[in-house]
Every structure is written in C-alpha cells, then in structure tokens.
Chain A
C-alpha cells in the first residue's frame, strides 16, 4: 500500500456530496431563472408553466449526468482519486470463517456454448494467476429448456474433465424458478453460503480476468467494513455496428463517469447486479428481499434487486464501493437497437417499481436519490416527448398571435426581443451539457496519447466521437418513443415477464425492422408534415428528432449488421482498446468459442447428438437429478405423456411437459431406450 494511502472521513464524504448537489442545483436554478424570465414577459400561460416544470426536471437530470462526468474529468486530470477503494489504507481484519470466494453465474435459457466459453476463459485466466485455489465456480441454472439443460450439464462436466476441476466447479439446476435471478442467488446463499466468505456475481455474458477477481478478493480482505465492490464492466466482444458504437462510447466516455460517480458516492455507491464481489455474511443477513404487496408490475417480486440490495447494505451500515481502477471486467451489449429496447423494457419495469421504495422507511436520502435517478432514467423519455409536443403546440399558438417565435427563413427562434439571448443561452447550455462530456474524454485522450492510439489515434478517435454523436442523436428519438411506451404500459399495469436476452449477432430483416419501427417512421412523417405545414420555423428545429424517426428502419437494419461492424473496425472507427490490443481473457474467450463451435460442427457432421439419445449425456443427467419420490398420480401422468410423445411426437408436448419427463429418473431411462428404438433402421 503506498504511503500516501488515506483514510475516508465522514466530513470528506459530506463535503463532496454537498459540492455535487450544489453544482447540480445551481445549474438547474440558473437555467430555470433564464427560461422563467423569458416566459414572464407577457404573463405566464398554463402551457408555459407546464413547460417550465418539465424543463426543470429535465435539466436537473441532464446536469446530474453532466456534473458527474465533469467531476470525473477533473479527478482524472489530477491523476485519479486518492479516495478510491483501491488507494485507501487497509483496515485490520480477522481471518476467521470461510476463506474461499464463489464465482456464481446465474443463467436462464442462455446459449450453452457462449456461457461455457466464458466460464472456461475465466477459469483459465484464474489458473494463470496461480491463485485459483481461492475460488470455486458455481453455475446456477434456472434454465427450463430441456435440451439446453442437458447441454449445460454436459458442458459443465467437460469443463471439470478438461481442467481437472472435479469438486471445484459446480452446477445446479433449480427445480422451481422462484423470484428470478435474486431468488436464484438467494437459494445459493441459503444452501451453500456458509462455505464461502465472498461471492462474485456474474451475468451470463460476464467475462472477468483472473487477476481482477484476485484483486477484488484482496480488496475485500483489506477492507472488512466493505460489503460490496462493484467493478465497472466494459462492453466488449460484439461485432454489429450498433454494439460497436455503444462499446466505443462506453469505453471512451465511461472513465469520466465512473470516476465522477466514485467522487461523490464514495462508500455509499451502488450495485449493478453483476461483475461485483459481495461479502456473503452481511448479504445474507440484510438482503433477503420481501415480496411487495399488490400485483406486478408495482407489487410482487422485486425486479431490479441490485439497487435495493445495495440500499439495504448501506442501511445496515456497510460500505458499498465502485472501483474505477479495476480493469478486466467485461460484459456484452445487445447486438441491435431492437434487442437494446427489449432489454430496456425489463429494466424500465424494475426501475419504475422502485417508485414505491422511495417511500420505504429507514432508507437514507442517498438511497432514495438513487431510486429516483433510476426512475428518471426512463421517465425522462416521456417527459422529453411531452416537452417537444408542448413546445410545438406553444410555437403554433404563438405563430397565430404576436409575438411569433418561428417565421420566415429564420433559423433561430425569434423570442421576444429582450429575451432572445436568454432562450438561446438556455438551449445552448442544454446542448453543451449533453456534448461536453464527449469533449472532456477527447481532451483526456490527447493527454494520454498512448491510450488514444488504442482508439485508432487522434483523427480516428475524433471522427468516431463525431459519428457516434450523430448516431446517438438519431437513435435517441427512437429510444424516447420506445421508453415512453414502456413507461405508459407499465403504468397501465402491463407486466413484462422474464424473457431471456438475445445476445447473438443477427442482422435484422426488412420485415422485422418494419414491424419494430413502422410506427416510428409514421410518427416522424406525421410530425414533420404537421410542423412544416403549420410552424415551418419549428420544423427546422425538429429536423434532428424527425430524421431519427423517419430513418429508423434503415438505421436499425444497417446498425444490426455485423458485416458493417467489421468494415468500420477495419477502417479503424469505433475502435476500443479491447479490440486494438485484446486482453488475454478475451483471447481465451474467442479460442474457447472457436473450439466449442468446431466441436458442435463436428458432432453435426457425424450426426452425434448431445441429448437424451446420448448414453453419456443421459447418464450424467440422471446422476444429477435430485432424488425425489414420485407420487402415484404423477407416475400415471408421466406415463400418459410418454404415450403422447410416442403417438403424437415431441412437438405436441409443451416445454414444462418435456421438462417433467426428463426430471424423473425412471421416465428418463425409458425415453433414452425409446430414442434408440424408434423407426430408424428397423423398418
């Protein structure tokens, strides 16, 4: 530990948070004063009052993000923060209790090949550190698909064989999916929690370098008051244009936001649900999640459990940190705009459910602020939408009376003469706050020349920033409409369920794009026509929004293409350091993926299958089934299903029916024999 290592004091925490809130509050107040002074010229109308409220909320949201990034920029300009978890002085700790760390990966109907490739890469990377003895790996499957279930088991056993890791890599498939991912983890803690000191929670697409895992465990050892350390996961390993642009944005701009978050949140930070290490004892004591009264989407099981778990840990006096200096933590992004929106739908429901938790007794103001920020990340979309509609309406009303804001060939709104400067300033301030973080990142890039080279050098990085800005400007209105719809649907109490995520590259067809974006195109054309006809001056201001909507079909199709993604990579655009100089763990992931895909192709060629027909896979499945007595009634039901299978074929059985068949040892063996005694080769 360096001699400059500091201790964190409550005074520093308070001072930093006050500074942050002052900056955000002052910015919002100034913007509000400017817009109010413009509105007040001829007495404020109800529409203007509503616009003022909306603008205040939105500018508050924008300035929160802006000041987080700006504080992060300032911290990085000064060479980092001495009050980050990696630089704080260690505290004395006892070495009692279990020593090991469990790497836990909850999965649910994921691609078994990708999951296995990722796990293998992480395990290999851990072995390369020479400290893999400190860890055990748990695959916590909630997979319902029978074939996927058996493939997961086969892949798990193959891993144990290949790495001589019997008794160190584990697999369990939960009989009943209760409470989704949080229930899955809870069941793990309930059954095996006493065996481990920490657990590193992973997602199905998580990749973490061995040295990062070791470092995280070391940090927890050094700080016994810390219950959770979140590593900032970087998106990587995707090839479509859409995900490459997002990967670049996260990588290039991410640092300033992460350091900014650390600056003002410090030991009261949040949990993002994966790629984080958790001290099991306090987690088990304080993070058992209750069912919220009422039905979904606001009642029932807590969807976005991570934010709530972090709040409960903080409430119990434990520290929760984000570790900006931790590298080697990766995740994958949805490959298309549509997949991204689908993921948003789930997250949106989870975050809106937190509305009730804002009113929970006992939580700190900071926790309530995080809940509100999560809610605002989705509610801001319908607010922006409403703001645009009302602005258009107001512009129309003003154009029918005096003064006129938009007329003739004027590019800028003609506000009442004495307030034109204020209104333009408000607009410019908003734009500056949205785009300045990108400039901060470019400046940091110039200052750290070697790192900038990994983004393709100054010219390509600047061009990538420019193109990414245009892309995000065009996709923002589409996401705004999507998220607005999600918020309305959830407020109307329509739940989303628990669909698995699509993580594979796949190019959208024209029909898929039309189905997904047809309404956006129509909205764009209609809004364009109405504004052009009735408020031509406002139309010009609306063009960036309209362009995104009107072009949504081709934009979504082109950006879903892995081929275009690869071309831009060859051109050196949207490059990330992970692409320029691949980290070892990602190389291992690629190698494992190639190997597993080749094995799959080989099996396809020889007609070999890894399901109930394979005696080895079938025996393994049988060996892993829990020993449960079957009641007479169930036995009869299973027999009836077997007859249905023989007579009607497997297509007539539902997923749960197939699962019940292969969950019973006796029926399983019968099915194995039946799979060999069908018509092939006999008649």
Chain B
C-alpha cells in the first residue's frame, strides 16, 4: 500500500513539473503564480481521472491550464464568451508570439492588462485581406487536328 502511495506521489510530482513547464512556455515567469496555478490544475485533473493513470492526469491538467489561460486572455482582450475558437486563437497567437511579454500580467487584473490589450490589438494575425473577387473563366481553345477544350 505504501509503495502504491509513493509511486502515486512520484507521478504527481512529474505531472506537476510538466504543467509548470507548460505555464512557463505560455509566458508565465512568476514562480509563485506558476506553482499555485499548476497545483490548481493538478487537483482539477485528479478529480477527473483515476489516481494511477499518469498520462490521462497530465492531459487533464494541461487542458485545465489551457482553459485558465484562455479565460484570462479572453478577459484581458475583452472577448465575449463564444464557441468560435478563432478570435481566441488569434489573441493567443498574438500574445504568445509577441516578443518579451510576460503572461503574469494576464492574472494581475490591473491597469497593465488594458495596456497589453491595446498594444496587441494591432498585432492580431490577419492572414488575408477582405476578398475582392474577379471572375476568371477558362478560355476555350479550338484546335486544328486535335479535340478542342470544353466550352
């Protein structure tokens, strides 16, 4: 029994470490914040999966981290709750790919969040401009000796 508990603790530590690493990749640098958020994610994960299923536990903990990050991001950007994943993905991309931005700001809920929103608003990925269509129809070609193209 003791051995099972020790193994379980070992798995939990490893999962916690991985979740902490994930938070750092999301741009968090405040270690206290990272520890507290990771612990919350782990405990949420534990409620959803069996104690010894390490991969499922990690997956659930990571999903919780993503959920919390997106929630903070949506709040910072003022995005209304929606099933459309695109605006949030765009905000996430702008936030994560912008240089030298700490995600700690997202969880502070102070004036820096507004500044962040303003600075990132112009950096949302806009991969294509509004369409301005033109009709381009195949030109029929008639041949001597050969079959002509469809009209």
Contact = CB atoms under 8 A, between A and B. Distances in A.
Interface of A: 98, 136, 153-154, 156-158, 160-161, 166-167, 170-172, 186, 189-195, 280, 284, 286-294, 312, 356-357, 359-362, 614-617, 619-620, 622-625, 627, 665, 669, 673-674, 676-683
Contact of B139 (A166, A290, A673): A290
Nearest to A298: B146
B139 A286 contact: yes
A623 B147 contact: no
A194 B90 contact: no
Contacts of B136: 186, 189-190, 193, 284, 287-288
B66 A673 contact: yes
Nearest to A187: B136
B125 A194 contact: no
Contacts of B148: 293
A194 B134 contact: yes
A373 B43 CA distance: 74
B59 interface: yes
Interface residues of B, number: 54
B59 A677 contact: yes
B96 to A, nearest CB: 3
Given A290-B141, A312-B139, A623-B86, A676 B123 contact: no
Contacts of A294: 147
B89 interface: yes
Contacts of B66: 669, 673
A290 to B, nearest CB: 4
A356 B146 contact: yes
B147 A622 contact: no
B125 A170 contact: no
B44 interface: no
B123 A166 contact: yes
A600 to B, nearest CB: 16
B85 interface: yes
B138 A682 contact: no
A665 B87 CA distance: 13
Given A284-B135, A624-B125, A619 B96 contact: yes
Contacts of A136: 129
- In the complex, the 3 A-B pairs of residues with the closest C-beta atoms, listed nearest first: A616-B96, A194-B132, A193-B134
Looking at A171, A359, A615, A669, the one whose CB has the most chain B CB atoms below 10 A away is: A615
A191 B138 contact: no
Contact of B131 (A192, A360, A614, A679): A192
Contacts of A622: 85-86, 89, 93
A638 B15 CA distance: 27
Given A292-B149, A293-B148, A620-B97, A167 B129 contact: yes
B86 A195 contact: no
A193 B11 contact: no
A192 B129 contact: yes
A289 B14 CA distance: 59
Nearest to B150: A290
A356 B124 CA distance: 49
A641 to B, nearest CB: 18
Contacts of B123: 160-161, 166
